[in-house]
Amino acid sequence: MFKNSMVTLLSVVLLGAGVVGCGQSGPKMYIVKGTVTHNGKPVSKLQVTMIPDDLKTKAESMGITDDQGKFDLMVGSVPGVFPGPHTFTAIDPLAAVGGQTSKDPDYVEVCKKYAPGSSPLKLHIQKNESNLEVKLD
């Protein structure tokens, strides 16, 4: 009888731990929306990515700029950016399939200067940002 009571108690404790674990959310993320400009003009149809310095525990966030250069960043289908330092990158989304969105010299310059692996722009995310201005001048 004592053995069955211990098994039941252990099962309840483990089940309770599992429920508590399932109810917890993942690491904190912040909602980040903004605008990309180059020489004072919005840059449209640009894939922007925030690559965290710590890729072992945090995922990158991505968005596409609209005609006004506005973007919303997401990790997969979840809105947000993990807190901390990030490298901001910008690429032509069609380049991955051999295409080119624009031949405008400013667009090409932005894609070259802020490409993954060469982008000099670091941003530190510490809060929700509803109007982050990213000036690529």
The residue assigned the tokens 């903004």 is: 34
Identity at 47, one-letter amino acid code: Q
Q: Kindly state whether residue 24 falls inside one of the protein's structural domains.
A: no
- Please report, for residues 4, 7, 29, 50, 100, the alpha-carbon distance to residue 134 in angstroms, rounded to integers and kept in the order given: 63, 58, 19, 12, 22
> Could you give the CA distance from residue 31 to residue 61 in angstroms, rounded to a whole number?
10
In a domain, 22, yes or no: no
State the total domains in the chain: 1
Q: What is the extent of the structural domain holding 104? A: 32-135
Kind and range of the H or E element at 112?
Answer: helix 105-113
pLDDT digits (tens, 9 = 90+) for 112-121: 999 999 999 9
User: Using CA atoms in the order 49, 53, 58, 62, what is the torsion angle rounded to 10 degrees?
Assistant: 0
Residue 3: is its pLDDT beyond 70? no
pTM: 0.79
Supply the CATH number for residue 126's domain: 2.60.40.1120
* 3 falls within a domain: no
